Structure formats: C-alpha cells, structure tokens
Chains A and B, each alone.
Chain A
Amino acid sequence: MNRHSFISRNKRELSVALSYLVLLVLVALLAPTFFHPANLRDLAVNNASVLIVACGMTLVILTGEIDISVGSQFAICTYAAGLLAKSGLPLVVLILTVVLIGAVMGAVGGLLVARLGIPSIVATLALMVIWRDALRWGSEGAWIQGLPQNFQWFGLGQTYGEVLVVVAALIVFAAIAWSLHRLGAGRFFYAVGSDAEAARLAGIDSQFVKHNAFVIMGALTGLAALLNAIRFSIVPGNAGIGLELKAIAAVVVGGTAITGGRGTVTGTLIGVALLGTIGPALTFVGINSFWEKAIQGTIILAAVVSDVLMTRLSTRRQYRLAN
C-alpha cells in the first residue's frame, strides 16, 4: 500500500495534470509555435493574478463556503489602486492600502457568512451586486489616466516587472501550499470544511476560521488587482468581469471538493493553467473562439464527473479488498 501512497494521495491532482498534459500534447502536435518562450511568458503573466485569486478561493471553498463577489472586489481594488497612485502615495503605502481595502471587503463577506450565518452563495451574491454597482455609481465608468511614472511595473521596467508579477504569484501560491499542509492553522481549514461541528467540538473556532478565509481571500484579491493594474499605464473603470467564475472553475477543475474539506492549491495551480491555456490554444490551433465557452463548460463537467467516478471506483475496490 505504501508504494501507491503518493499516487493515491494525489490522484485528483494527477488526473488533472494528466488531462492538462494531453491538452499540451495535442497543442504541440497541432501548433508547435504555442511553446515559444515569449508565449509561455505572456501566459504566465496574464494568469498570475487569476492564480492569486484562485488560491484565495481555494481556502474559502476548503471551508465549505464560496465567494462570488471577488470580481467586484477586484474592480474596486483596481480602481482604488489607480486613485491612490494618482494621489502620489509612496509605493509601500499604496500596496498596503490596496491589500487592506480588499481585506476589509473580504471581512464584510466573512462577517455575514461566519458570524451571522448567512449562506455564503447568497451573501456574496448580494455583495457582488452592491460592490459592482457602487463602483459604477461612483466612477461613472471614467478611466484613471495620468498616473505617475513609477506606477507601471512599479517603475522597474517591463522585464523585471513581469518577473515581479509572476514571482509574487508563485510566492503566494507556495506560501499557501506550505501553510495548508505544514501549519496547524492550515489544517484547520480542512477540519472546518469536513465537519464544522466536529471541528468546533475539537476546540477549533470554526467561525473564526471561516471568517479568516474570507479576509485572506479579500486581501489576495486586492494584491491580485494591484499586480494586474501595474501591467498597464491606465486604470479602467470596470475590471475583473467574470473573474469569480474563472477562479471557481479553476479551483473545481483542480479537484477541490465544492462541499469543502478536500483539495489542494497545487490542483488549483493546474486548474488555472488548464483553463488559461484553452483560450489562446484555440486561437493557435485555429478553432473559432465562438466555441470557447462550450469547451470550458464541458471541461468543468468532465472534471467533476471523472472525479466522482474515480472515487466510486476506488471505494468499490477497497470494498472488494475488505471482503
């Protein structure tokens, strides 16, 4: 049994990785230019902020909740980053403030869900509309221009700026991956998601853990918004449309159970890569982008169906072995 432990422990991640590999092989056969270093670099930079948000989403989903207001939070944080940068705040203060704004918005969601016990899908649905419409009302769609020179790429220039964005995303990923498995506080997310009541009886403050998941999610969204905004020299009035679906889809495709208690950010990383590859790959292969949504939907369904079938298969085998 020990020989199989790595495979059986990581079979969800491995199966997603396998499907990703198949996709890559297909693309390699049909459009080898896809693997040009410049393209891979662009893919990494474009998906860095999605990865950060999806990592945060993994935490929330692990506790058995969901946050569909992240797209709107992202828009507000982007806009706030633009406004603050224009007012000439020092860089460090700017970064901290934007992350803080995200964390506060996350805390509002956390308050409603963890403290007041409102179902997260409904609470964050309401927040999604409120944040987005509040921004529309406030900004009236205006873009922020005339940002200081050191806003784009934090003044580091494109090459270092791109490295910074990708490295920052990977650090966030690594930090969460490490703490989820090596820290007691990380295991709490699994405990709460598996059975909040049991976790409470075991001495874990379930509500506190859930609340924290939302706050971290918000802070990460703020960071992602900032890292996305600095890739450009102008800040749009309305960003992050559909980001929540992208993040949730990546988490689910990555093998995290929507009911909580099971999943890893490694799976999420592969999920982000998989979904981020499909769109450009279609263009490279020459398939019309009209079918992109249909293909994405099929992949999500295929991922969950195969997940369940695999679980059934393995439990049946265990059952046979036991008899």
Chain B
Amino acid sequence: MNSNTQLAPDLKLIAPWHLRAFPNREWILVVVLLFECAIFSLSGDNFLTRSNAFEITRLSVEVGLLALALTPVIITGGIDLSVGSMMGLSAVVLGSLWRDGHWPMSLAIFAVLVLGLIGGALNGLLIARIGLPPLIVTLGTFSLFRGIAEGLTRGIENYSGFPPNFLFLGQGYLGHLVPTQLVVLIVGIVICAWYLHRTAFGRTLYAIGQSPEGSRYAGIPVGRNLFAVYLSSGLAASISAVIYVAHLGQAKSDAGTGFELMAITAVVLGGASIFGGRGTVLGTVLGLFAIVVLQNGLRLSRQPAELAGILTGGLLLITLVLNRLATFAGGQSRVNTGAEELDVRNSQVAVLSGVILLAALVVAGSNWLLVRSIQHGPQNERPINSSSKSNHRIQVAMMPKAKGDPYFVSCRLGAEEAAKELGIDLLWDGPTDLDPAKQNEVVEAWITKGVDVIAVSVENQAGISTVLRKAREKGIKVLTWDADAERNARDFLINQATPQGIGYTLTDEAARILGNKGEFAVITASLSAANQNEWIKFIRARLAEKYPDLKLVTVQPSEGDRDRAFSETQTVLKVYPNVKLIMAIAAPAVPGAAEAVKQAGRTDVKVTGLSLPNMNKPYVKDGVVESIVLWNTTDLGYLTVYAAQALISGQLKQGDHELVAGRLGKIEVVDDEVRLGAPFIFNKENIDRFDF
C-alpha cells in the first residue's frame, strides 16, 4: 500500500533529490526539529550550546539503540515489547556476575550479550517458528523477563561500585566533549542503516512487512529472517543495558522500565508503519531526537515534565494523522500511470506543503504559550557561572522522587512558601513515573541551565551521585533532602530522619500497639523500592535487638497503588490470622490497608505506618489507623529552601552548628547534616492540627 515510498532502483534515476534523501517524508521531522530548536533557543537557558548538544545525545543512547533494533522489527510488521524488561534482566545478571560471581567485567558483558541473544531467540522462536502474534508473545516475555529479574534479586539487590574503566563507557568523554557511548550509537546507526537499506537481507524485511505470504512465494526465507530480526533486538537490549549500567553506575531490576514505549514512539514518529513495510533508519533517528530535544528543551525552559508527555503524544498523533492524509492523497492517484506522474508529484508536494504548515502551526502554537509564560516569568537568560551574583535572583532547583506523590506535593508547599519569603526562584521538577534514570536527566538539564543550587531527594544513590559530583565541579551547590546521595556528591543533607530513625520509630510504635508481642505484616511500596528496603532492614534489626516476641511475618508489595494495598491487606489478614497489626510504609498504602481492615470488620487489627495526615484523617478518627509516623513534610520543603539560600550567601558552611530558618527558628546542624528533628507520631489527639 505504500510501495511508492520505497523507491525501486529504476525510479531512483528520475526521483528528485528530496525524494532520494527523504524517501519516507523524514524532512517533516527535520522541520519539527528545527522548530523545536528555534523555540527552545529563545525560551530555554543555554539550550543552544555545544555541551548541551552532546548531553542530549548521551541521554538518547539507550533508547536510541532500542529504537534502532525495533525499526527492522516494526518494518516486518512485528513489535517487541520485551526490550525494556530484557534491559532489566541483563542489568541484574551483569551486576551479579561481576560482583557475586567475581567474573571479569569483559566476560560478564559477553555473557550478558549472550543472554540478550537467548531472550531474542525465545521471542524469535515463538514468533517465527510457531507463528504466534508478536504482540502477545512479547507481552508475555515483557512480564517474564522483568519477573525473572525481580525474582533473582528479590527486588532488593542493587549492584554498584563498578570499576572506573567500565563506568567510562557511560559517563566519560572522548576528547573532553563527546560522550563515550555516542560512538556506540553511531556505530549502531551505521550498521542498522547498512543492513536495512543496502543489503538484500534488508530489502527482504520490507517485503515481509508488505506481505509475508507473498515473500514466501518469492523464495524469501521468512521464518529465518524474522528470527534474525528478533535475535538482534534481544542483543540490542542487552547492549543497551550494559551502557545503561555504566551510565547510572548501578544495576537494579527496574532498569529500562518504560523504555520500550519510548523506543516504539521514536520509531513510529520516524514514519515507520506499524503495519509493516515502511520505515527508515534516518526517520527513527530523527524521531528519537525530536522527542529527546523536546524533553530537554522543556526542562531548560522550566516547564513541567508532564507537558513533555502530552506534547510527545500529541506530536505522535499529529504526525500519524498528517502522514495518513498524505498517503490517502498520494494513494488515490497512484493507480494511474505515465502521463499523470507529474500530477501525482504536484498533489503530493501540495499535501506536504500543507503538512509543513500545519506542523509548524502546531509546534509554534504549543510553544507560543511557553514562550509567553517564560517572558512574563521573573527570570532572564543568563550564562553559567555568572560572576555578578548580586544582580539576579537565586535559582534553586528542587527535585522530588516522584512528582505526583502526595508526600512530595506537601513538601512543595513548604518549599514555595520559603521561596516566596526569601525572593528565590524555585524550580520544582522530577520524574512523573518510576523510571530510575529520569532523575539523572533532570539534573543534567539543570547543570546545563546553570542554576545556583540543586536539591535532590535521591531515588538511586549510586546512580545519581556521579551527576551530582559533576554539578559540584561546575560550581553548583548541591543539597540532598529526604534521601541522601553519596556523601562526597553533595554539600549538605537536609535530614528529616535517618533510615535507622524511621525503622526504629516504626518498630517501637508497633511494639507499643501490640504490647511487645505478636505478629505483624508490612505492606511496602514496590519490592525494588530502595528506601523501603532500607527501612525494612532496620525494622528487622530493631526486632532482633529489642523485641524477641514481635514477629514480622510477611512483606507484600503495593506498587504505590492504594487499591493494590487494599487487596494485599485483605489476603494477608486471611492467610495470617494472627497478624494484629498492618504496618504500611508507603503513603498511599496506609489508607488502602485501613480500608481493607475496616471492611473485613477486624476490629482486633490495627494499622500504623508512614503516611500523610490528611489522607488518613478519617481512618485515624475511626480508630482503624492507630497512628502514623512522619515528620512535618511541609517544614522539610521549607527548610531545604532556607538551607539553599544560606549556602549561597555563605551563612551555612562546614563546621556550623545551627541554622536560622525563618519560622522554624534555630535548626541543629551536625557535620554536613541539617536536622529537621525526630520523626513525629500523629494520632487521634493531634492529627487535626496538621493540614498536609
């Protein structure tokens, strides 16, 4: 149906240059990219700099490799949803072989690549041999690979401390400018483009995508070629995982979560037809950069991360609709031959001109709002490390672990209150989903943007420390709050409570409620959540040390979902009838557990845990939730911004013992920690005094 877009050799002789260079209308994306660059160079700080250009490419390598491997897959009319999960599996296998198996790094990498091939072979076998639909097969292996990764590590294991020469692969620069892994991406692009566009094998993939049956009759080994395609996609996933591990400096079972969707988006945005038979490597690369530049530009223009998702989705839909309309227009006249060739081209040119105009309008329209809001904003563009600090308002960039989490929403209130009092520009941005690499990307963007202070609530300690150290090298002050990075990666930690303090307080509270003996169960966030695992470790330690008659019988995941916490609690209550206390240690899990206990009518069971007062008020008043343990999160945000200001103005330095923070008064400083105070226990008596 799209045969005109793949040029037959003889057509090449008469095809105009723009059809030869862009056989699949990729130039629309070039226009989009140029527009993005034009808009963001106006609205973003330091967007059009050489270092930013290379930083953008660094961030796109992992997804880029997946997208390259998915291009042939999609051209054959298939899909591979399992690549992100394969990354997770490869990452933990790499980590365990190197750390626990004491394999040399090179051998471990080799083994992981073989693992990728095995995973790809499994997909290929089921799809090419048995003839199952790719969507379903890879949906199954999507769960399977991630499940094995979680099962092997029990979700907890986080491998880090990799040798520097390995980390160089993901963090280093060639000639102080070019990120190392960019070389891998370029090699990948060249190989992929060569095979797809310059070999007979590549041409057969298009034929298979057009019609597998027809290809078989034409003598193409359809099964074998399909097998090879899925094999290479498994291999690409494991290569991508190696780079990912080197980039973040850590290997965990959640590596690459959601990467498959980004890769597919890039490929489809690049003009590949999901039905098969159409697509180019050039298109994929342009599609990839269109997305990555959009995300990077929005960050530098201090727009919320959610907008990037909405615009990416919108861009994808608009490109598809326009492409579709253009194909309709071209397709109807394609049946005619010879004399009307000129008409065809004219009508196509007309449609394409319309497409550019529309795309331009869309991009311009969506960005017009941006530019306006930025121009009306308080800050102006300024260079990195400007020497005249007195002239501009201090920019403090603050990152939560997850933006939508009610815990962090309440922190933000305090942070904004403090920023207003001090006349500081506060940037608040962070991941909207559970992708562990997202925090690094945001910090990279802030370094490029040239903020004064970066304050991070750290999700992945080993992963983010390298990039925080880089920020400090560039003269940016770094704070951590809520959860710490490695000590030499930040100036101060705003410490609301140590993991030990939280674990011990929770255990003591459990002991108080249960009268020092009995069984209890823990509902955690996800099984791979780093913080929660740390707390559980200290809960167990406290039990062993002080409460021999108190027993933790099971730990169940809630995935940060209230409804999941609800059903897990129901099950726990039935399987462990002696459990008299549910300890939920994720904010949404406490109300979920409370509702389950309430609906089960188990008045003998109490709920406690770590959560926010507001969402638990009804349950605390009912008496279902006995107490919740937390610090004042609004104060935590407030204190962080005050500490940032004090750090810039020199009021806070190593060796200080106290810090005066607005309405909080004097706050204790110990070594390199600013301490908010001990965790607080909210109960029926005091909970009404708090509103967050």
Least CB distance from A259 to B in Å reads: 6
| Docked-complex contact A141 and B595, CB < 8 angstroms | no
Least CB distance from A290 to B in Å reads: 5
Cα of A31 to Cα of B575 in the assembled complex, Å? 9
Of the stretches A12-20, A117-125, A190-198, A215-223, the one at the interface is A117-125
Tell me which residues from 6 to 44 in chain A have a Cβ below 8 Å from any Cβ of chain B: 31, 33, 36, 38-39, 42
Cβ-based interface call for B500 (8 A):
no
| Docked-complex contact B571 and A283, CB < 8 angstroms | yes
Cα of A232 to Cα of B563 in the assembled complex, Å? 9
Q: In this complex, what residue of A is CB-closest to B318?
A: A126
| Docked-complex contact A129 and B274, CB < 8 angstroms | no
Of the stretches B40-48, B146-154, B199-207, the one at the interface is B146-154
> A134-148: contact bitstring with B at CB < 8 Å (1 yes, 0 no)?
101101111101000
Cα of A248 to Cα of B308 in the assembled complex, Å? 27
Cβ-based interface call for A150 (8 A):
no
Cβ-based interface call for A252 (8 A):
yes
> B147-167: contact bitstring with A at CB < 8 Å (1 yes, 0 no)?
110110011000000000000
Cα of A61 to Cα of B138 in the assembled complex, Å? 17
Assuming A300-B143, A305-B130, is B274 touching A121 (CB within 8 A)?
Answer: yes
Assuming A297-B143, A301-B141, A308-B131, is B562 touching A236 (CB within 8 A)?
Answer: yes
A residues less than 8 Å from B572 (CB atoms): 283
Cα of A188 to Cα of B474 in the assembled complex, Å? 65
Q: In this complex, what residue of B is CB-closest to A245?
A: B139
| Docked-complex contact B316 and A122, CB < 8 angstroms | yes
Of the residues B324, B432, B571, B617, contact of A116 by C-beta under 8 Å: B324
Cβ-based interface call for A179 (8 A):
no
B residues less than 8 Å from A3 (CB atoms): none
Cα of A134 to Cα of B313 in the assembled complex, Å? 11
A residues less than 8 Å from B133 (CB atoms): 257-259, 304
B residues less than 8 Å from A36 (CB atoms): 574
Cα of A118 to Cα of B141 in the assembled complex, Å? 26
Least CB distance from A63 to B in Å reads: 15
Measured as residues with beta carbon below 8 angstroms from the partner, the interface class of chain A is 35 or more
Least CB distance from A160 to B in Å reads: 13
Least CB distance from A263 to B in Å reads: 12
Cβ-based interface call for B567 (8 A):
yes
| Docked-complex contact B615 and A297, CB < 8 angstroms | no
Chief secondary structure at chain A's binding surface = helix
B residues less than 8 Å from A39 (CB atoms): 570-571, 574
Assuming A289-B557, A294-B147, is B306 touching A137 (CB within 8 A)?
Answer: yes
| Docked-complex contact A137 and B574, CB < 8 angstroms | no
A residues less than 8 Å from B264 (CB atoms): 122, 125
Cα of A116 to Cα of B667 in the assembled complex, Å? 61
Of the residues B126, B570, B600, contact of A301 by C-beta under 8 Å: B126
| Docked-complex contact A132 and B309, CB < 8 angstroms | yes
B residues less than 8 Å from A304 (CB atoms): 126, 132-133, 136-137, 140
Cβ-based interface call for A249 (8 A):
yes
Of the stretches B182-190, B229-237, B398-406, B511-519, the one at the interface is B398-406
Tell me which residues from 291 to 307 in chain A have a Cβ below 8 Å from any Cβ of chain B: 291-298, 300-301, 304-305
Of the residues B144, B314, B527, contact of A130 by C-beta under 8 Å: B314
| Docked-complex contact B556 and A121, CB < 8 angstroms | no
A residues less than 8 Å from B275 (CB atoms): 119
Q: A132-B309, A238-B404 are in contact. List 18 more A-B contacts (CB 8 A).
A: A119-B275, A121-B274, A122-B320, A133-B313, A134-B306, A136-B404, A137-B307, A145-B618, A228-B563, A234-B562, A241-B559, A292-B147, A293-B146, A295-B147, A297-B143, A298-B144, A308-B130, A308-B131
Q: List 23 A-B contacts (CB under 8 A).
A: A36-B574, A39-B570, A112-B317, A117-B324, A125-B313, A126-B314, A126-B317, A129-B313, A134-B310, A137-B307, A143-B406, A231-B566, A232-B566, A237-B404, A238-B561, A241-B561, A252-B139, A283-B556, A284-B574, A290-B150, A293-B146, A297-B140, A300-B139
Would you list the 3 A-B pairs with minimal beta carbon distance, nearest first?
A: A294-B147, A297-B144, A297-B143
